[in-house]
């Protein structure tokens, strides 16, 4: 084995021996990244990229945060691992911090190693506590990649696992999407039909244990609900004694201008799951937090869940540093201030680019939806295009931005703009400039389509 590898060898070995996720493997040759700091990451050729999506919307504090690195090193020297059946200083200290920042009343914790696992725990807890089986999720959702969480995922990443991968009892409600309402209404004036339909489902289904929602949908479009949506959903769940699970894997940790997205509407779920920004993605850690009422059930009932890495000391340590850094930097307030600036710049782009159908967001969490036709809201590509590995306009736009030194996460029909919360106005301006230039590619597609539609139809000879 060679002591050193060339960059081309690193890429070739990565592609040959490891899987590229959510993609066909043919032709995959990933970029070799060698460093990352602040809002930037660097490839092996020395090219530096502005991280305009915080990788997978997870590097909330920016790359290589010193306090987090030091906390990991200290814990590694002190106690890198002990089984979950023991008490540790790091577990106790993190629990204290979580009680301070989580919505009031969520004060019993199960520590997983990802958002996926946190949601798996939530499903099992909901079923154990209620004695019921069914989980209501929504289309345009993503809750993870393991069998339970992928079954509750509404996007096409679920399709390959069906029917075996669709665990019994998961059913789907319409998503909240005021730009393109899935049930044919346009807000305002629809009476928030999408949430009322959830009650219709509960009333017409037996055995419903819980409803799981991303309070602000993440990967599938940064869908921000009307202000009445979450409070109404809370009332519906209470009226039918159904648990409400808030998946805050992506929307938590100051991303929306509050510690958690549900705080924007003063809603307290029965279970809250989160991950990503919890450790600034420096270590894999997920959290399933429940109310005391749920916790009390297990005083006299068997808690039938666990795994080797639950409450792993080395994974818990960076969460302490991450929360303290968020407090020190007032990141929730900063997300509101900088998010307003980012939103203004993105909305300016909409006036300049006919390919932008919608701009939506909350705090420092935004999406730019690309359309072939603004009037009809026709998208460039579909879910099936993605699964069938067809060329995607959003991927081409993201690639153009990357050529200009800005990384943006793309999915189906939209770009997710969610940079580290430490980003400056100057860096936002740089990202917006690169995105604006990249969008010219999509604008040309719109113009070509309009030219085709405007061509005169030749008379038909009879």
pLDDT for residue 459:
59
Residue 196 has pLDDT above 80, yes or no: yes
What band does 168 get if pLDDT is binned at 50, 70 and 90?
A: confident
pLDDT band at 452 (very low <50, low <70, confident <90, very high): low
| Whole-number pLDDT of residue 189 | 55
Domains within the chain, CATH numbers bracketed: 8-61+330-446 (3.90.1150.10), 66-328 (3.40.640.10)
Contact residues for 55 (Cβ-Cβ < 8 A; gap 6+): 281
Tell me the average pLDDT across 355-377.
97
Burial of 327 (0-12, 13-18, 19+ CB in 10 A): middle
CA 399 to chain centroid, in Å, comes to: 21
Is a pLDDT exceeding 80 seen at residue 175? yes
| pLDDT tens digits, 272-305 | 999 999 999 999 999 999 999 999 999 999 999 9
Q: What is the pLDDT of residues 10-36, one digit of tens each?
A: 999 999 999 999 999 999 999 999 999
Beta bridge partners of 40: 37, 50
Residue 366 pLDDT exceeds 90: yes
The confidence score (pLDDT) of residue 184 equals 73
Residue burial 411-423, b: 16+ Cβ < 10 Å; e: rest: bbbbbbbbbbbbb
Instruction: Quote the DSSP letter at residue 201.
Output: H
For the stretch 39-52, pLDDT in tens is 999 999 999 999 99
Kindly state the helix (H) or strand (E) to which residue 332 belongs, with its residue range.
helix 331-352
Q: In angstroms, what CA-CA distances link 96 with 86, 90, 102, 297, 324?
A: 17, 10, 10, 22, 12
Please determine, for residue 456, whether its predicted confidence score (pLDDT) is greater than 90: no
Q: What is the pLDDT of residue 453?
A: 65
């Amino acid at each position: 084995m060679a002591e050193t590898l060339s960059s081309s060898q690193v890429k070739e070995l990565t592609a040959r021996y490891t899987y590229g996720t959510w993609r066909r493997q043919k032709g995959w040759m990933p970029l070799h990244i060698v460093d990352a700091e602040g809002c930037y990451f660097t490839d092996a050729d020395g090219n530096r990229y502005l991280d305009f999506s915080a990788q997978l919307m997870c590097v909330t504090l920016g790359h290589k945060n010193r306090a987090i690195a030091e906390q990991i090193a200290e814990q590694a020297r002190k106690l890198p691992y002990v089984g979950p059946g023991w008490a540790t200083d790091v577990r106790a200290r993190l629990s204290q911090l979580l009680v301070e920042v989580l919505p009031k009343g969520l004060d019993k914790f199960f520590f997983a190693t990802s958002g996926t696992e946190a949601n798996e725990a939530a499903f099992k807890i909901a079923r154990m506590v209620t004695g019921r089986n069914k989980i209501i999720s929504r289309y345009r959702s993503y809750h993870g990649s393991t069998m339970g969480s992928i079954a509750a995922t509404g996007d096409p990443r679920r399709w390959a696992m069906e029917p075996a991968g669709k665990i019994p009892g998961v059913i789907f409600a319409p998503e909240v999407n005021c730009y393109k309402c899935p049930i044919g209404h346009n807000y305002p004036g629809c009476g928030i039909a999408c949430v009322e339909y959830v009650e219709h489902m509960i009333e017409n289904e037996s055995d419903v244990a819980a409803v799981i929602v991303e309070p602000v949908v993440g990967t599938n479009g940064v869908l921000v609900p009307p202000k009445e949506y979450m409070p109404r959903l809370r009332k519906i769940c209470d009226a039918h004694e159904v648990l409400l699970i808030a998946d805050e894997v992506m929307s938590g940790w100051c991303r929306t201008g509050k510690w958690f997205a549900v705080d924007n509407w003063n809603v307290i779920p029965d279970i809250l799951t989160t991950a990503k920004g919890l450790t600034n993605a420096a270590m894999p850690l997920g959290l399933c937090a429940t109310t005391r009422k749920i916790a009390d059930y297990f005083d006299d009932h068997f808690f039938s869940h666990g795994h080797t890495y639950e409450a792993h000391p080395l994974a818990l340590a960076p969460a302490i540093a991450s929360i303290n850094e968020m407090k020190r930097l007032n990141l929730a307030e900063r997300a509101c201030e900088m998010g307003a600036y980012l939103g203004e710049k993105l909305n300016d782009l909409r006036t300049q680019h006919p390919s932008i159908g919608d701009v939506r967001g909350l705090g420092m969490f935004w999406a730019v939806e690309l359309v072939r036709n603004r009037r009809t809201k026709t998208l460039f590509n579909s879910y099936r295009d993605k699964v069938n590995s067809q060329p995607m306009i959003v991927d081409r736009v993201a690639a153009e931005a990357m050529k200009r030194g800005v990384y943006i996460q793309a999915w189906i029909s939209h770009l997710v703009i969610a940079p580290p919360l430490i980003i400056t106005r100057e860096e936002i301006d740089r990202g917006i400039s690169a995105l604006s230039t990249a969008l010219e590619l999509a604008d040309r597609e719109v113009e070509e389509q309009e030219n085709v539609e405007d061509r005169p139809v030749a008379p038909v000879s009879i």
